[in-house]
Amino acid sequence: MIHLYGIANCDRVKKARAWLDAQGKDYAFHDYKKEGADPEKIAGWIAAAGLDVLVNRKGTTFRALSDEDKAKAADAARAPALLAANPAVIKRPVVEHDGGILVGFKPDDWAAALG
């Protein structure tokens, strides 16, 4: 089963969902805005992909964080709680699939991982 995490009105998430639909892939969508983000799940993503991959440092939400919170985003132990409280700081989308996780939407990577 494919689980897609993101924010419904995010352009990258829309493109990812359209790609999955075009490929005929069944997936479950988890919208952070409606359903929140789970710190334990985020900790697992950090362990699998790394903070540098998961944290969206280019977005306006990250830039608006205090220096203290930005420091938390650079600490694997403290980042999950910060990202759960500020899910817009998570690079989107995140996909969990049988072979691991994908962060961000790159069609070639997705085709290789999801077939």
Classify each residue of 20-34 as buried b or exposed e, where b means 16 or more C-beta atoms within 10 Å of its C-beta. Answer: beeeebebebbbbee
Active site residues: 10
- Coil, helix or strand at residue 59: coil
Q: Point out which residues pair with 29 in neighbouring strands.
A: 4
